[in-house]
Structure 1
Amino acid sequence: MKSLYFQDMNRYAIWVTALLLCACVSTKKKGGITRQEVKTAQRLIGLEFERPAIDTMRSYLERNRSGYLKMREFELPNETAPALYFDPFPVDFTFSAESPVQSWAIPDNVALPSDPESIAFLPILDLASLIKHRKISAIQLTELYLDRIRAHDSKLMSFITVTEDLALAQAKKADQEIASGHYRGPLHGIPYGVKDLASVPGYPTTWGAAPYQDQVIDETASVVKKLEEAGAVLLGKLVSGSLARGDVWFGGKTKNPWDLSQGATGSSAGSGSATSAGLVAFAIGTETLGSIISPSHRCGVTGLRPTFGTVSRHGFMTLSWSMDKVGPIGRSAVDCAVVYDYIRGKDGLDKTVKPSGFDYSSKIGIEGLKIGYFQKLFEPDSGNVSPDLTKTIEEFKQMGIELHPLELPKEFPFSVFDIILRAEAGAFFDELVRSGGVDEMVEQHGGSRANSLRQARFIPAVEYLQANRHRAELIEQFTAMIQEYDVILSPTSGFNQSLITNLTGHPALSLPTGFDEKNRPTGITLLANYFDEAKLLQVAEAFQQAYSYHGLVPTGVKAGPTTEDRRVMEAVENDGLN
C-alpha cells in the first residue's frame, strides 16, 4: 500500500517526542521531567504506561526537549517546506505534458456600455476586446475600478490594501505596450485583486492577522508574477480571514454584497466579495478546507479550486503544506478558465507543482461526458436539500445530461482528518505561538485560529502520520470511485465532501445556481478527476450559457453612477479612443 510520508519510522521515538511536547511546550521549562508530568501527559493521547516504563523514558524525554530547544535557536524562512512532500497521485498515474497558454479568441464586436457599472461587470474576454481595440484604455478601466472601491468598499471591507500607485503604473505600461503593437493577451490591462496571503514587494502582507499587519515581504508571489507578465493590473490586496480562517480580520468582517448583514465567509472573503461587487474583474483566492468554494458560493460568483500541484504557492502564507491550493475567482466559468490558464504550471520554486495540460479551447460536447452526482446528498433527509438544489438537478437534466448516482466513501475517520491541517499550521506558526504573538489575534474563542494553533502543539507525531496513512487509503478509494466519471455534482454544504476532496487534492468548482427566498445566492459544487479542470469548466460554462445566474449586480452595491463614475465615463468619451 502506498503511503504519503515515511513508513518505517520508529513509532516509539515519535511517541516520546509527542509526549514531551504535551508535557513541556514552554521554552522556559527548567529542571528534569517528573514522573507526574509524564503520567498527566499520557491522558492527552489515550495511552498508559506503568511506572518502570515511565522512569526509563524520562532521561530520553529530557534529551528530546534539549534538542527541541536547540532547534528553536535556528530561524526557518517562510518558504522552507518540510522534506516530506504530499503526493496524492496513484502509482500508475500518467501526467500529461505541460501545455503552453492557449490562444484565446477575443471577440471583435463588443460595444462600450453607456454606464460604468455595466463596464465593471463585463466578463474578462469582453473587457479584453474593449482594451485591445482601444475602446477604453487600461488607465480608464483601472480608474473606474478604483472609483468603485472608493464608493463601495467601506461597507464591504473586502480590501486590506489598495495598491493604487502600482495599479496606475501597470495600467500606463499596458497602454503603452498595446499602442506600440505589443499585445500580451486577454489579461493585458485587466484589473484584479489578490488575497492578502500573497507577497507583493513594497506593500504589507498582513495575512489578515493583527500580529502581521505591518509585515512587508520583499518578494513577488509566483502567481502575482505570472499575472504581471500577462499584463494584468493589480488593484490591491484582498481580505483573508485571520491567518486564513473565516471572514473576520483585524479591520472587521468582510460582507456579502448580496446581503450586507451577512459575512462573505472565508477565508478568501475579500476575493469573493470584491469579485461579486464588481470592484475587480477577477480575484485570486486560496483554499485549504473550503476557502475558495465557500465565499464563491456565498457571494454568487464562480470559483475554481484546481488540482493540488497545478498552481505554485510560492510567496503565499502556508497554512498546510499538503492541503493549500491557489485558484481564480471570477464572474463566470470562462473568466476562471482564462485566469487559470495563465497562473498554472511550474515556476521552479514550489516542488509540489506537477506538469499539467489544459485544453479548454477544444470543446467537448457535454452530451459526450459521463456526469455523476452524490444521490443521497440530494435526498430530503440529507440535510443539504433545498428547493434550489432540486431545481438545479432538473436544470442539468433539461440540458440533456444523464446523471449517474454514486456515493461518498463512508468507512473513514473523517472527524480526525483535520489534525493534518492543524499540525502543519502549528509547525508554520511555531514562533507565533512560542512568542505569545498569537494572543494579539482578534478572535480568541474556542473555534478561533489562535486557539487552533495553541492546541496543535499537543498533536502527537504518531497520530499525524497515522492520519496520513488513512488519507492514503481515502485517496486510493475515492480516485478509483470517480475515475469513470468526467464531472460529479455535489451540494456545496456537507463537511465530508469538502474535507474529502481537499484531502485527496481533486479539483472543484463553485457554480451559482440562483437565489433563495431572501435573494441570497445559491449554488452547487462540481468535482472532477485530477487535472480535468477543462471538463469541469466546460460543464460549468454550458450551464451558464443555458441559465443566467452569474455575472449579476448584487443588491448591496446596485446604484446609479456616482459623480466619480460620471467623471470616468466623460474621460472615456472625450479621449478619442472611441
Structure 2
Amino acid sequence: MTLPADLHYLSLNEIARRLRDRTVSSVELTRAILERIEKVDSTLKSYAVVTPDRALADAAALDIEAAAGRWRGPLHGVPIAVKDLCNTAGIPTAAGMAIHRDHVPIEDATVVTRLKAAGAVILGKLQMTEGAFGAHHPSIPTPLNPWNAAYWTGASSSGSGAATAAGLCYGSLGSDTGGSIRFPSTMNGLSGLKPTWGRVSRAGVFPLAESLDHVGPMARSALDCAMILGVVAGPDPEDPTAVPIAVPDYVAAAAVGVAGRRIGIPVGLSDLDPDSARTLGDAVTVFEKQGAQIVEVRLPAAFQQASRDWLGLCAVETALAHEKTYPSRAAEYGPVLAGLIDMGRGLSAVDYARLQVRRAAVTGGLNTLLASLDLLLMPVMGTAVWSLDRLAVTGRDPEAVAARLRYTAPFDLSGHPTLTLPGGKTVDGMPTGFQIVGRSFDEAGVLAGGHAFQQATDWHLRRPPL
C-alpha cells in the first residue's frame, strides 16, 4: 500500500479513522513514524528514548486484534509518545536528570497503563527539562523548535512539543506545573490541555511540585486532546488525589459549540505585545461570530502576585521531591534546578504559610470569577513568542521568570483546566496562541470551546517548514 506523503502530519482523529477503516495498519503507520524519527530527530533531539522493537511488536499485536474484530477504542494502533517523567516498565525514565539516566522502572505510570490498555502504541519517551523545571541539564541535548531553531521550544515538555509538531508522534503526554504544557504548545503551534488538578492520576509520574503538577495531552487539535484525555482521566487507587468523579465523553462534548455561552475577556492587560494582543483579540472575534456572549471582566486582585508566589511554593515542594538526592548529590545537578531547591530549603515556615494564604486568595478569586462565566479567554504569555537570544538576555532573573509565568502559573495554583490553542503567527512565521480557561472539572466545556474555534479557523492545520 502506498502511504500518503503527509501521513505523519494527519490529526490523531483522522489516523484513528483510517485505522478503524483498515485503510492503513498500525504496523505500517508505526514503521513510517519510526523512519521519520530516525530521519528528523537527529537534529530536533525531541526523544530521550525510542523503542522501535517494542513499538512494532505492539503494533503487530494490535493489528491482529483489529483483524479479529477486537477494537479497544479510538487510540487502537495509534503511535504516540510520553514525556520522560512517566514511568515505563523496562524502559529508562530519567525525568531529564543526569542522575536518573540509568533508572529503569518495573511498573508503568497509571497514565501509561491506560494508554496501553486503550491500544496506543508507545514509540518512546520525550525529552524534557531537568526535573521538569525551567532548564535542561547541561549534559542533555535541548530539543529544537521545528518551526525555527532560533526560538524557544518551551519548558518543560519541550520534547513533547517538538515531536508532536514535527510529525514524530500523533499526540503526546506532557506535564504542567507552571506552564509546561502551555508554553511548548503555543511555541510549537499545538493544542495542549492542562486538566483540572485531580482529573488525571499522577501515580508513577516523577514530581516537580506535587500540589501543582498536572499531566495532560498535547496534540494537533482540541478534538485530539479530547480523545487522549478520555483515556487517561479518572480516579486511581494508586493516587488518592485523583478525584473519584465520572469521566465525560469528551469527544461527544466537543461538538456542543459556544452559542449562547458567556465568555470572559480580561480588561487592563497592559503588558501584552502586539502579537499576543492580536491573537487574543482575533479569538474574541471568532467566538462572537459563533454566537458567544463576550463579557469584559477584571482578574482578581491576587492574580498579579500569583506568579511570584508560585516560585516559592514550587521551590519548597521541589526540595521535598529531591530530598533523597539533594544536597547529597548536588554536584550532579544543573545550576537552575539546584538553585530552585536551595531556595525551597531556605524558605521559612512563616514565609511558606504566607504564600499558602495568598494561594487560597487567588484560587477563591478565580472561582468567584469563573462562577459568573462559562469560559475565560487569556493570553499564554505577555510576549507571544520568545527567541533563544531574548531568553539568554533575561536569564533566570526572578522577575523575568514571573513575567513569563504571569498568565499560566495562577491556574496551576488554582488547579483550573486550561486549553492552549494556536491562534495566529508572527511576522517571522512563528505560531502564537491563547488560552481557554474553565471551571474546575469542566474540561468538556473547555474542549467544546476549543473545537468550536478550530472549526472556524485553520491555525491548527498549519505545519512547521521542516
TM-score by length of 2: 0.90
Separation in 1 of the partners of 2:267 and 2:453? 20
Instruction: Provide the C-alpha distance between the structure 2 equivalents of 1:263 and 1:382, rounded to a whole number of angstroms.
Output: 20
Structure 2 counterpart SS, 1:192: strand
Give the 5 Å matches for 1:26-175. Answer: 115-116=4-5, 118-175=6-63
Aligned equivalents of 2:133, 2:79: Cα separation in 1: 26
2:359 is matched with: 471
Residue 423 in structure 1 maps to residue 313 in structure 2: no
TM-superposed deviation, 1:366: 1.2
User: Is 2:276 the counterpart of 1:408?
Assistant: no
The code of the aligned residue for 2:122 comes to L
* Aligned partner (choices 129, 133, 149) of residue 241 of structure 1: 129
Q: Which residue of 1 aligns with 2:81?
A: 193
Structure 1, 258-267 or 509-518: larger mean CA deviation: 258-267
Pair 430,181 (structure 1): closer, same or farther in 2 beyond 3 Å: same
Give the secondary structure class of the aligned counterpart of 1:255.
coil
Instruction: Give SS of 1:497's match.
Output: coil
Q: Give the aligned partner of residue 36 of structure 1.
A: none
The residue type equivalent to 2:373 in the other structure is Y
Q: Cα deviations across residues 146-182 of structure 1 (Å, max 9, x unaligned)?
A: 0110011111110000011221111011011111111
Correspondence for 1:532 among 433, 442, 447? 442
Q: Separation in 2 of the partners of 1:316 and 1:115?
A: 36
1:328-354 deviation digits (Å, cap 9, x = unpaired) = 000000000010001000121111111
Correspondence for 1:203 among 76, 85, 91:
91
1:47-76 deviation line (CA, Å, top 9, x unaligned): xxxxxxxxxxxxxxxxxxxxxxxxxxxxxx
CA offsets 1:213-237 (integer angstroms, 9 cap, x no match): 1111211000000000001000000
Q: Match for residue 290 of structure 1?
A: 179
In the other structure, the counterpart of 1:315 is 204
Residue in structure 1 matching 2:159, options 259, 270, 280: 270
Q: Which residue of 1 aligns with 2:191?
A: 302
CA contact (8 A) 2:135 2:337 kept: no
CA contact (8 A) 1:433 1:454 kept: no
Is 1:395 equivalent to 2:283 in the alignment?
no
Displacement of 1:247 in angstroms is 5.5
Rounded to whole Å, the distance in 2 between the matches of 1:274 and 1:476 is 37
Task: Measure, in 2, the Cα distance between the counterparts of 1:406 and 1:501.
Answer: 17
The answer to whether residue 296 in structure 2 is matched with residue 370 in structure 1 is no
In the TM superposition, what whole-angstrom CA distance separates every residue of 1:484-512 from its partner, at most 9, and x where no partner exists?
21111111114333121110000001100
SS in 2 for 1:320: coil
Distance 1:270 1:244 in 2: 11
| In 1, Cα distance between equivalents of 2:246 and 2:348 | 36
Conserved 8 A contact 1:121-1:552:
no
Give the Cα–Cα distance (whole angstroms) in 2 for the partners of residues 352 and 221 of structure 1: 15
Pair 1:357-2:247 in alignment: yes
* Greater alpha carbon shift after TM alignment, 466-475 vs 141-150: 466-475
8 Å Cα contact 2:130-2:136 kept in structure 1: yes
Question: Which secondary structure state, in structure 1, belongs to the residue aligned with residue 210 of structure 2?
Answer: coil
Deviation string 1:62-99 (CA, Å, 9 cap, x unpaired) is xxxxxxxxxxxxxxxxxxxxxxxxxxxxxxxxxxxxxx
Is 1:438 aligned to residue 348 of structure 2?
no
Q: Residue type of the partner of 1:410?
A: A
Unpaired segments of 5 or more residues in structure 2?
383-404
The letter for the 2-side match of 1:430 is E
Off by >4 Å, runs of 4+ in structure 1? none
Question: Which has the larger displacement, 425-434 or 302-311?
Answer: 425-434
CA distance in 1, matches of 2:94, 2:76: 27
1:304–1:113 distance in 2 versus 1, CA, 3 Å: farther
Give the equivalent residue in structure 2 for 1:552: 462
Once the two structures are TM-superposed, the CA of residue 411 in structure 1 deviates from its matched residue by 4.0
Letter in 2 for 1:428: A
1:511 aligns with 2:412: no
Match of 1:498 among 399, 403, 408: 408
Tell me the TM-score normalized by structure 1. Answer: 0.73
Please say if residues 312 and 343 of structure 2, whose CA atoms lie closer than 8 Å, have aligned partners that are also in contact.
no
Letter of the 2:227 partner, please give it.
Answer: V
Matched letter for residue 369 of structure 1 = R
Amino acid at match of 1:511: L
Question: What amino acid is the match of 1:432?
Answer: T
* Whole-Å separation in 2 of the counterparts to 1:320 and 1:356: 26
Q: What is the letter of the counterpart of residue 534 of structure 1?
A: A
**Deviation, structure 1 residue 308:** 0.3
- Give CA deviations for 1:228-286 in whole Å, capped at 9, x if unaligned: 00010000000111110236243221111111222311100011110000100100000
After TM superposition, the structure 1 stretch with the greater mean CA deviation from structure 2, 278-287 or 545-554, is: 545-554
Once the two structures are superposed, what CA deviation does each residue of 1:274-317 show, in whole Å capped at 9, x if it has no partner? Answer: 00001001000001000000000000000000000000001110
Instruction: For residues 518-558 of structure 1, give each alpha carbon's deviation from its aligned partner in whole angstroms, at most 9, with x where no partner exists.
Output: 00001111100001111111111111111101132211x2x
Identity %: 35
SS at match of 2:288: helix
Secondary structure of the 2:212 match is: coil
Distance 1:170 1:296 in 2: 28
Residue 389 of structure 1: how far off its partner (Å):
3.5
Q: 2: CA distance between counterparts of 1:438 and 1:457? A: 13
Name the CA shift for 1:553/1:321 in 2 (closer, same or farther; >3 Å).
Answer: same
Is 1:247–1:265's contact at 8 Å kept on the other side of the alignment?
no
* Counterpart residue type for residue 294 of structure 2: L
CA distance in 1, matches of 2:74, 2:86: 23
Q: Does 1:383 align with 2:275?
A: no
**How many residue pairs align between the two structures?**
436
Distance 1:237 1:192 in 2: 10
Q: For residue 427 of structure 1, report the CA deviation from its aligned partner.
A: 0.8
The one-letter amino acid paired with 1:429 is H
Confirm or deny: 8 A CA contact 2:192 2:419 kept in the other structure.
yes
> Could you say if the C-alpha distance between residues 474 and 246 of structure 1 is closer, same or farther in structure 2, counting changes exceeding 3 Å?
closer
Question: What CA distance in whole angstroms lies between the structure 2 residues aligned with 1:149 and 1:461?
Answer: 48
Q: CA deviation at 1:113?
A: 8.1
Structure 2 Cα separation of the partners of residues 467 and 146 of structure 1? 46
Question: 2: distance between equivalents of 1:185 and 1:151?
Answer: 30
**d(CA) in 2 for partners of 1:283, 1:484:** 33
Distance between the aligned counterparts of 1:358 and 1:247, measured in 2?
36
CA distance, structure 1, for counterparts of residue 314 and residue 327 of structure 2: 19
* Matches of 1:424 and 1:270, distance apart in 2: 24
Say which SS state the counterpart of residue 368 (structure 1) adopts. Answer: coil
Preserved contact between residue 254 and residue 263 of structure 1 (Cα < 8 Å): no
Structure index of larger Rg: 1
Equivalent residue, structure 2, for 1:260: 149
Equivalent residues of 2:45, 2:141 under 8 A apart: yes
Seen in structure 2, the aligned counterparts of structure 1 residues 462 and 113 have a Cα distance that, compared at 3 Å, is: farther
SS in structure 1 of the partner of residue 149 of structure 2: strand
Contact 2:258 2:287 in 1 (8 A): no
Q: What is the alpha-carbon distance in structure 1 between the residues aligned to residue 118 and residue 247 of structure 2?
A: 19
